[in-house]
Amino acid sequence: KAYNWRLKAYASDISPEGFTLHADTWGGSILYKADVSYIAIATDGQDSLRVGTFGTEDIRPASSWVNSNQGTAKFEKPFATEKKPRVVAGLSAFEVGCGRGFRVKTWVEGGKESLNWRLESAGDSHLYMVKADYVAWDPDVTTLAGAMGPIVSGISSL
């Protein structure tokens, strides 16, 4: 049987000592291997930092495929500066049509109160659902590590 390609990466059991990293699938999909990258950030007291998620399910259901998706993710608190924040985003979940090309293009642009995003594909791809996690920070901060004090980051292969 052919099932869509599905993956959801997330952390649980989060504490100052560590966390459990998951790479799960659903709906009959079989996961043979997944490589997952992560950044663990202590956000307490970090006024120059915003974290969050955005995705296609913010604007439509995953029951049909659409290859051009866009929306806005509002920050919990606006940035103090009028300058556009720096933003990085990475995929944390997807469902893509099986037997077709796998193409996902992510675009983000931050503002004082929110960020605009696009999740797109092309060719014969069928994008049913895509979700991304983001980190946005004040553009006057020159390095994340310097701005955040203790930071744990790394790469893990499952």
Q: DSSP labels for the chain?
A: ----EEEEEEEEEEETTEEEEEEE--TT------EEEEEEE--TT-TTEEEEEEEGGGTS-TTS--SEEEEEEE-SS--SSSSPPEEEEEEEEEEE-TTS----EEEEEE-SSEEEEEEE--TT--EEEEEEEEEEE-TT---HHHHHSSEEEEEEE-
Instruction: Kindly give the confidence (pLDDT) of every residue in the chain, 158 residues in length, as a single tens digit, with 9 standing for 90 and above.
Output: 578 999 999 999 988 888 999 999 999 999 999 988 888 777 676 788 899 999 999 999 999 999 999 999 999 999 988 899 999 999 999 999 988 888 999 999 999 999 999 999 988 999 999 999 999 998 887 665 544 433 333 323 33
The pLDDT score that the predictor gives to residue 143 is 63
The pLDDT score that the predictor gives to residue 99 is 85
The pLDDT score that the predictor gives to residue 153 is 35
Question: What is the C-alpha to C-alpha distance for residues 6 and 16, in angstroms, rounded to an integer?
Answer: 30
The pLDDT score that the predictor gives to residue 134 is 94
Looking from the CA of 58 toward its CB, the CA atoms found within 13 Å total: 18
pTM listed for this prediction:
0.84
The pLDDT score that the predictor gives to residue 131 is 96
